[in-house]
Amino acid sequence: MTGNSFGSRSELELAGERYRVHRVDAVPGSDRLPLSHKILLENLLRHEDGRTVTAERISSLARGEKGVVAFSPSRVFLHDTNGVPVLTDLAALRDAVAEAGGDPAAVRPRVPAHLTVDHSIATEVSGRPDAVRRNVEIEYARNGERFRFLKWGDRLGLRVVPPGTGIMHQINLEHLASVVEQRDGWAFPDTCAGTDSHTTMVNALGVLAWGVGGVEAEAALLGQPLSLLVPPVVGVELTGELRTGTTATDLVLTVVERLRAHGVVGKFVEFTGPAVARLPLAHRATIANMCPEFGATAALFPIDGTTLAYLRLTGRRADHVTAVETYAKEQGLWHDPDADPRYDERLRIDLSAVTASLAGPRRPQDRVALADVPASVSRALGSTSDGPVPEGAVAIAAITSCTNTSNPHVMVAAGLLARNARARGLSAKPWVKTSLAPGSKTVTEYLRRAGLTAPLDELGFQLVGYGCMTCIGNSGPLLSQAAAAVAERGTVVASVLSGNRNFDGRINNDVSLNYLASPPLVVAYALAGRVTADLTTEPLGTDPDGSPVFLADIWPDDAEIDAVVNAHLTPELFRDAYADVFDGDSLWAEVPAADGDRFAWPSGSTYLRRPPFLDVPAAPPADLTGARALLLLGDSVTTDHISPAGRIPPSSCAGRYLTGLGETELNTYASRRGNFEVMVRGGFANPRLENRLAPGGLTRDVTGAAVPVYEASRSFAGTPLLVVAGREYGTGSSRDWAAKATALLRVRVVLAQSFERIHRSNLVQLGVLPLQFAEGQSADSLGLDGTEEFDLLGIPEAVADPERPVTVRVRPREGAAFEFAVRARLDTPQEAVHYASGGVLPQVLRHFVGDAGSGRTTAAG
């Protein structure tokens, strides 16, 4: 990196040592940049090379212009369910490099990279003291093959955090994030690209980080910059104070609702205003974590005294905390309440207006006031009826996921509410599957120190593991009473969880209604046993004297919550929890590691198969004629709809494939992501996907018969396929298999009214072209019914110049043909290169071995 066009290279003393830095204030106009753009600007200054990063591009960013930049994250972060596919791609890339005569060992991480094993553990056993031990044993029995593969990845330089340690985002927040990197004599902002959309959680610390697809993460791992259209910045001014009794969860659900309504997709959000300084770091983290739920790319909080206090609390070294303060102040990254950044949009949220809330029953942005939950359930149910397990029964009550379990205030509140409930003789209803899956070992330790473990245990909230678990769909089977009610009477049951996602079919295949709630409200609903109850007016139960016990009677006081948090959270607690974070337990030590520069793909494996993304020769972009619609979809199609993560039903295409190979333990889609044969059969197989061509995970094949999507795609043979959809296509988790399955189903184009950022980018990286209807147009307005033939004309010209439209010529079964223009969503020049290359992997292969080794994966893959 030789460029220094602005004379920004300098030195700075940090805690007694001198480091090289690039000063942001050396660039004219940088003083009024939002914090996120200052961090981007520093990144460009440090990587100026006159080619991918030019002086003009740096100057343009400082002026507030929204062009394209090449951003180089300082580190990459993965979890196991995305990390395994990343590793399979890297292993396949090593094979391809070797077969082309290159050095496979050259394919290795070029920036620091970590992977946590936190998505594979499932809540198979709960409500008993040995639950965590049994779940971990089951996890190893199911996933031993994948774990051996991950150990091979550790040999490549990918640092693996073993199972049973915690959730990636909480580990990132509490331990890995440095805020300011001090590396090789340089000091610069800590930035992170993560393969989970909730990577944004560390935005709470002032760390610019966001979620990327697995394929994009591979490119970043190999040292390639991320091509980024500089996002507009929305300044969100926080005012007022939270009312007594409201929680960080209530606040974040309000923020999600407001920002989703405002429209922040593809934008950076920065929180400012007088209330920011009063927000504990844990509350900031709760908000930043749910950035994907309101659709932004990142949700940044400033660095201030609260940041430094949290770094000290979590055991970071004193000299490093001093260095963070000095660097942030020198570089204009320190919170200045009098600053007036050049925001593109502004919004105000009054904390005093926040009330007790849940979100559901199907989307995280659908906030419902606590008193209004019964009405929202009634709208979803249509009617209710009583029975041993009533309609609207809470079948799952899970304190789970990083969103809230990282926040000691709400976790302590849950423990205190459980203590108060037990003191009044209350118990969870017998059909409720209760579980506690905290994000790190610090949580169980401070609950133990505070004497709150026992009452939670007594209500069935025993520790079941450290992982996403219920939030990612690894909820395990329902209790027999609830399962029988669903199977035999068709009872509609609900889950209440402290997670961040509640999309259709995500939590459990048998649970139709899903509500996000704070941990104490999760406990309360376990006591009530049904979401049809109004917890503001109806009792949770009766005490031994027959007196009704209301939620208000047992809700803990804010002062007591704060006292417990202050008394039991110490730096020593965090230092002990992370002292051996990479070591793992005896079970991990016993996992044998594969060796060699090339991975020896196990024959007959149903978990690991060499992916085909480099097996098909590249072809230049071309027009498509005679294309057919594989699916005709509506609004808000999520990546859970496209590529489910939960249990694999035996009757599904993937289930029948596995049972045909003799498998009896089907496991989950999340655990099978290293096997493309399973994942392509799971593409669009979610039974709750509403496809207008056919119901329940089916579509029409070439004969017009309703069949599984995988079978339909094969029936069209060489016919190019497209998916037609509505608004907000691809919302949800940043799972690359949603795009990979699309490509392997031979879909060449997705035509939608609008796209969520990560999934659109993932499609391009897999060689699938995202096209967007003109404003005001849609499948409905154009009268499309999915039976037509489509010609897509002008694709090569749009790749060369994305401002040029693509023409869609529609040939209906009856009536005259017609045409309309759409926009190719190749938002950066680098994305146009990705698409023209057939995707990122063929492009990366060409980097290692030249044009002779390149390949292309498209629908033909």
User: pLDDT tens digits for 687-710?
Assistant: 889 999 998 779 999 999 999 999
User: pLDDT tens digits for 635-668?
Assistant: 999 999 999 888 899 999 999 999 999 999 998 8
- Give yes or no: residues 635 and 515 share one domain: no
In a domain, 415, yes or no: yes
Task: Give the Cα separation of 793 and 809 in Å (integer).
Answer: 8
Q: Is 858 a residue whose pLDDT tops 50?
A: no
**Secondary structure element (H or E) that encloses residue 732, with its range:** none
DSSP per residue, 482-539: HHHHHHHH---EEEEESSS---TTTS-TT--EEEE--HHHHHHHHHH-BTTS-TTTS-
Amino acid 616: pLDDT:
78
**Residue that terminates a domain, selected from 54, 71, 88:** 71
In a domain, 651, yes or no: no
Q: Which residue has the higher pLDDT, 593 or 813?
A: 813
DSSP label at 371? G
CB neighbourhood size of 617 (10 A): 10
- Give yes or no: residues 427 and 545 share one domain: yes
DSSP per residue, 144-161: HHHHHHHHHHHHTT-EEE
- Give yes or no: residues 432 and 563 share one domain: yes
Instruction: Render the burial of 294-304: b for 16+ CB within 10 Å, e for the rest.
Output: bbbbbbbbbbb
In a domain, 503, yes or no: yes
- Give yes or no: residues 747 and 810 share one domain: yes
Query: Over the chain, what is the mean pLDDT?
Result: 94
In a domain, 700, yes or no: yes
Q: 3-class SS at 593?
A: coil
CB neighbourhood size of 176 (10 A): 21
Task: Give the Cα separation of 535 and 554 in Å (integer).
Answer: 12
In a domain, 553, yes or no: yes
Q: How far is CA 704 from the centre of its chain?
A: 36
801: domain CATH number is 3.20.19.10
Q: Which of 46, 67, 71 is nearest to 57 (CA)?
A: 67
User: pLDDT tens digits for 608-641?
Assistant: 999 999 987 778 999 999 999 999 999 999 999 9
521: domain CATH number is 3.30.499.10
- Give yes or no: residues 563 and 425 share one domain: yes
CB of 788 within 8 A of CB of 819? no
Q: 3-class SS at 184?
A: coil
Q: How far is CA 110 from the centre of its chain?
A: 24
pLDDT (average), residues 682-686: 94
Instruction: Please give the single-letter amino acid code of residue 754.
Output: S
In a domain, 729, yes or no: yes
Residue 395, CA distances (Å) to 129, 272, 523, 819 in order: 20, 40, 13, 50
User: pLDDT tens digits for 6-35?
Assistant: 999 999 999 999 999 999 999 999 999 999
Q: Which of 261, 275, 278, 245 is nearest to 356 (CA)?
A: 245
Structure token pair of residue 791: 């010609």
Task: Give the Cα separation of 149 and 600 in Å (integer).
Answer: 10
Q: Is 856 a residue whose pLDDT tops 90?
A: no
* Cα first-last separation, the chain: 38
- Give yes or no: residues 375 and 522 share one domain: yes
**Residue that terminates a domain, selected from 37, 71, 105:** 71
Domain that holds residue 744: 624-644+683-837
- How confident is residue 857, by pLDDT bands cut at 50, 70 and 90? very low
Task: Give the Cα separation of 744 and 683 in Å (integer).
Answer: 9
- Give yes or no: residues 562 and 703 share one domain: no
In a domain, 290, yes or no: no
In a domain, 97, yes or no: no
Q: Which of 465, 594, 497 is nearest to 144 (CA)?
A: 594
Q: What is the sign of the dihedral through the CA atoms of 305, 308, 314 and 318?
A: negative
Q: Is 852 a residue whose pLDDT tops 50?
A: no
pLDDT (average), residues 569-597: 93
- Give yes or no: residues 633 and 740 share one domain: yes
Q: Is 772 a residue whose pLDDT tops 60?
A: yes
Evaluate if pTM is beyond 0.75: yes
Amino acid 380: pLDDT:
85
Amino acid 482: pLDDT:
96
CB of 239 within 8 A of CB of 70? no
- Give yes or no: residues 533 and 630 share one domain: no
812 Cβ neighbours under 8 A, 6+ residues apart:
787, 788
The residue count of the chain comes to 861
- Domains identified in the chain, total number: 3
**Residue that terminates a domain, selected from 551, 569, 587:** 569
- Give yes or no: residues 628 and 545 share one domain: no
Q: Is 175 a residue whose pLDDT tops 90?
A: yes
Which of 117-121, 316-320, 437-441, 445-449 comes out lowest in average pLDDT? Answer: 117-121
